[in-house]
Structure formats: C-alpha cells, structure tokens
C-alpha cells in the first residue's frame, strides 16, 4: 500500500534546483531522484512543499489523469513565483482550466493547428526563413543567431497566424520575457500582464468592424466569446508561439555545434531532420520548470500517496532522459527511437502548437545548415549565457560565424 512520503514535511531539494556541469542536462539532484526517489518532495520559492514527479511513466500517468487539475484557482495549486500566484488568482487562459471548460475553448483553435493546416503553411514559413537568412548573411560573416533568426522566425509566423502587427514585436517580446522570468519583480510581471492583456483586448476589438483572416478575427466573427476571453487566448498563443520555438532553435544549433558527429550525420542525411528535431526536443526539454498540477483526490503515483490539495510538478526534462524509456538518455543520438517523449507535455493539455513548432524547427535547421556549411561559434562556448531564470530554457545570444 502507498504511504505518504517520510520526507514530506521537510523537503531537502529546492525547485528549481541548479544545473550541474553540463548546461544541457537537467539538475543533477533531479536526475539522482529518478533513480533513488522518483516521486520526491521539493520546496518551492516560498518554502511550500510540492511533489516532484521525475520518471517518464509516472509523468504520463499524472498528466493523463483527470484527478490532477490544471486549474490555478484550486486550493493547493503550486505556483512557481509570487507573480505567478497573483496572476493565477485572476482570469487566465485555458492552459490553466480543466475540462469541460478547457476543451470547449481549446476546440475553437484545434482547426488552426492540425497537421494538414500546418503543412500548408510550409511555403510561407520557408519564405520568412529565407528572407531572414538573406538579411542575416548578405555581406556578413557573423551574426547573433537569436536576434537575427531564431526569435524573429516564430514571432513573425505567430503574428501572421493571429493577425497581430509584427511591428509591435519589441513591446510584446518584452512583456513575455518579463512573464517568463521568475526573477522579475512582481510589479514588473503584473504590469507586463496588464499591458499585454490591454494590447490584445484592444486589438481584438479593432477586428470587429475590420476583419482579416487571422485567428483573433475569426474568433470575433464566431460571436461566442467576449473580448477578454479572445484576448486571453491571443496572449497564450503569442507567448507560447514564439519564446518556445525561438529557444529550441538556438539551443538546437548550439547543441549540434557541440556534437560534431551528430551535426555531420544531419548534414549527410537531410531527410533525417524531422527525427533530429524530435531527439533535440527530448534531449533539451526546454520547459525546464516542468508542468504543474494539483491533486483533487488522493492518488497513488509511483508507490507514493499524493493527497487531495497537494501540488505536483511533472519534471519533463528528467522524464525525457529516464533510462527505463530512453537507454543512455543523456546522450544526444539523432537516430534513436524518441517516441512518447513528453517535451510537449501529455494528456488533454498536450501542446496545441506542436505541429507548428515541429515545422518551424525543421525549416529553421534546414535553412541554417544547408545555407551555412561552415557554421560555427564566434565566441568560446564558456561565454554563452544560459537562461536559468526563465520558465522556458534558452540562451540570450548565440554569436556565430561562417
Ligand atoms: C501547451 C511545450 C510551442 C501553444 C504546452 C505544454 C508544453 C508545451 C509542455 C503543456 C503545458 C501543460 O500541460 O501545463 C512547447 C514546446 C514548444 C511549444 C517545447 C516548442 C518547441 C508552441 C507553439 C504554440 C504553442 C509554437 C502556438 C502556436 C501551446 C498552447 C498550449 C501549450 C496553446 C496549451 C494547451 C492546452 O492547455 O490545452 N506547450 N510548446 N506551443 N502550447 Fe506549447
């Protein structure tokens, strides 16, 4: 029979825990937990205890189980910062709701992110990538891959899809960076949330008499949702739609440059890019703080009893390196079987934008690697700054040359 864990009252490890010598690997304390105590207790920023689920199968079990709620308004929901707690108490988007409300709202967007719909975007995305690539390389031999390519590509694409003017990108990129940074002062995060909310509400209203073929406009025309609800969806898509893919692109290029054998394999086998993208998603698992839920009933997970009202973090990056599922999981191997990885989460909240993210990553890597056969770092690896403080892991800048 399951028992409450003896360490429950005094968690020894913090969340998030520091990474070790390898900046690509999950925190060593968590990787140790996978072996020693796969469902373990951690202390959040305010000292509150929370369960950390570290194994692959347990993660999928939790995320597929309706007894774990994503509703931030429920008592015991684990917030990863003071600002997140304040925002979570207010009106949020469907990523923080349970079914049936969650699926009612999510269903209004699924048609925009099907495989077929996404595949049809390929020429348009390739065109954006080609344009950015030309601007970055023409007459130059050095660039910051983040600012010049990895960030603008998904940002331009999500703006196009939503019907958000890209010329406002400095504003909304600044807001989303504040929102995703756990070290931002609370007032700054709340101000960013308010500014972004007001921006999207105003933009949504402006579509009323003036429709276009973006998602916001289509939601307006459906006539089922109030402005605030459309604005909240727009906010979710705008933030999720560019920070994630941008960081994945930059980290992927860096990871490949650090693994010349893997890079050579990819250069020699252009048809292997989709498989490479999956392995990079697994190996990097950039949603580094994991995904959060609260138990609404007592549930046993991995032999441990989690009680109703207790918070749970599914630590995606350790799950994706769990040796039981991915032998030699710490090794980047572009030819491995990556099926069932949880980089996009699992269950009803599994990433809505994953077909788009995959396509963007594929196009980004192909464009860069085919176009720059001599691509390399322009600074020593040790000088690259990793974004430890962000919900979504990444790098600030990636100086490259060719
Ligand atoms: C949800 C990861 C790109 C939109 C999620 C979740 C993860 C994730 C782990 C689950 C959160 C949870 O269960 O609480 C990623 C990664 C990406 C990426 C690693 C890129 C490499 C995108 C893009 C979009 C997007 C490009 C939009 C265009 C969403 C939305 C949800 C979501 C709307 C909420 C789904 C729901 O609650 O039903 N993503 N994402 N994501 N993602 Fe992504």
Q: Report ipTM (2 d.p.).
A: 0.99
Is residue 365 scored above 60 in pLDDT? Answer: yes
pLDDT tens profile 161-173: 999 999 999 999 8
End-to-end CA distance of the chain: 60
Q: Which residues contact 131 (CB under 8 A, 6 or more apart)?
A: none
Is residue 47 scored above 50 in pLDDT? Answer: yes
How would residue 32 be classed by pLDDT, with cut points 50, 70 and 90?
very high
**What pLDDT, on a 0 to 100 scale, did the predictor assign at position 10?**
52
Atom 6 of ligand 1, residue of closest alpha carbon: 351
Is residue 176 scored above 50 in pLDDT? Answer: yes
**What pLDDT, on a 0 to 100 scale, did the predictor assign at position 242?**
84
Q: Which letter, b or e, does each residue of 338-347 get, where b requires 16 or more Cβ atoms within 10 Å of its Cβ?
A: beebbbbbbb
- Distance (Å) from CA 332 to ligand 1 centroid: 23
Query: Which ligand 1 atom minimizes the distance to the CA of 316?
Result: 9
Of 293, 229, 234, the closest CA to residue 101 belongs to 229
Tokens of 254: 């860096």
Q: Which residues contact 187 (CB under 8 A, 6 or more apart)?
A: none
Measured between alpha carbons, how far is residue 49 from residues 76, 233, 312, 364 in Å?
A: 10, 31, 9, 40
Pocket test residue of 112, 247, 351 for ligand 1, highest count of atoms within 8 A of CB: 351
Length of the chain, please? 402
Atom 22 of ligand 1, residue of closest alpha carbon: 353
- Distance (Å) from CA 241 to ligand 1 centroid: 8
Is residue 2 scored above 90 in pLDDT? Answer: no
In contact, 95 and 236? CB cutoff 8 Å: yes
Query: Which ligand 1 atom minimizes the distance to the CA of 97?
Result: 37
| 3-class DSSP string for 216-233 | HHHHHHHCCCCHHHHHHH
**What pLDDT, on a 0 to 100 scale, did the predictor assign at position 11?**
65
Q: How far apart are CA 141 and CA 164, in angstroms?
A: 32
What pTM did the predictor assign? 0.96
**What pLDDT, on a 0 to 100 scale, did the predictor assign at position 72?**
93
- Distance (Å) from CA 351 to ligand 1 centroid: 4
**What pLDDT, on a 0 to 100 scale, did the predictor assign at position 3?**
46
How would residue 7 be classed by pLDDT, with cut points 50, 70 and 90?
very low
Is residue 384 scored above 90 in pLDDT? Answer: yes
When pLDDT is averaged across residues 118-130 and rounded to a whole number, the result is: 97
Helix-, strand-, coil-residue percentages of the chain, each rounded to 5: 50, 10, 35
Q: How far apart are CA 138 and CA 89, in angstroms?
A: 49
- Residues lining ligand 1, judged by CB closer than 6 Å? 70, 94-95, 106, 158, 236-237, 240-241, 244-245, 248, 286-287, 291, 343-345, 349, 351-353, 356-357
């Amino acid at each position: 029979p399951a028992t409450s864990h003896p360490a429950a009252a005094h968690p020894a490890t913090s969340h998030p825990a520091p990474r070790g010598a390898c900046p690509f690997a999950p925190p060593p304390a968590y990787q140790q937990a996978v072996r020693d105590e796969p469902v373990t207790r951690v202390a959040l920023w305010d000292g509150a205890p929370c369960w950390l689920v570290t194994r692959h199968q347990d993660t999928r079990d939790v995320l597929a189980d309706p007894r774990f709620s994503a509703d931030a308004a429920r008592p015991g929901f684990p917030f990863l910062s003071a600002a997140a707690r304040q925002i979570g108490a207010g009106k949020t988007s469907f990523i923080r709701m349970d079914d049936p409300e969650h699926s009612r709202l999510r269903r209004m967007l699924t048609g925009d992110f099907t495989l077929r719909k996404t595949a049809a975007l390929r020429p348009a995305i390739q065109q954006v990538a080609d344009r950015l690539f030309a601007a970055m390389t023409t007459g130059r031999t050095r660039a910051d891959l983040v600012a010049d390519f990895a960030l603008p590509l998904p940002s331009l694409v999500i703006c196009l899809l939503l019907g958000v003017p890209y010329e406002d990108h400095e504003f909304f990129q600044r807001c989303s960076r504040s929102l995703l940074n756990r070290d931002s002062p609370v007032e700054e995060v709340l101000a960013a949330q308010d500014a972004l909310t007001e921006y999207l509400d105003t933009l949504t209203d402006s579509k009323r008499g003036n429709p276009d073929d973006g998602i916001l406009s289509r939601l307006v025309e459906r006539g089922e949702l109030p402005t605030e609800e459309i604005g909240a969806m727009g906010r979710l898509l705008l933030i999720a739609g560019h920070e994630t893919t941008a960081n994945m692109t930059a980290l992927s290029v860096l990871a490949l440059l650090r693994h010349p054998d893997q890079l050579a394999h990819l250069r020699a086998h252009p048809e292997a890019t989709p498989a490479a993208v999956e392995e990079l998603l697994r190996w990097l698992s950039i949603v580094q703080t994991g995904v959060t839920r609260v138990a609404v009933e007592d549930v046993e997970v991995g032999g441990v009893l989690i009680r109703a009202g207790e918070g749970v973090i599914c630590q995606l990056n350790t799950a994706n390196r769990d040796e039981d599922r991915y032998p030699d999981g710490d090794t980047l191997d572009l030819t491995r079987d990556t099926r069932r990885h949880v980089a996009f989460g699992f269950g009803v909240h599994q990433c809505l934008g994953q077909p788009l993210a995959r396509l963007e990553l594929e196009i980004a890597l192909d464009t860069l690697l085919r176009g720059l056969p001599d691509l390399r770092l322009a600074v020593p690896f040790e000088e690259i700054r990793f974004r430890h403080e962000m919900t979504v892991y990444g790098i600030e800048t990636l100086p490259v040359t060719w």
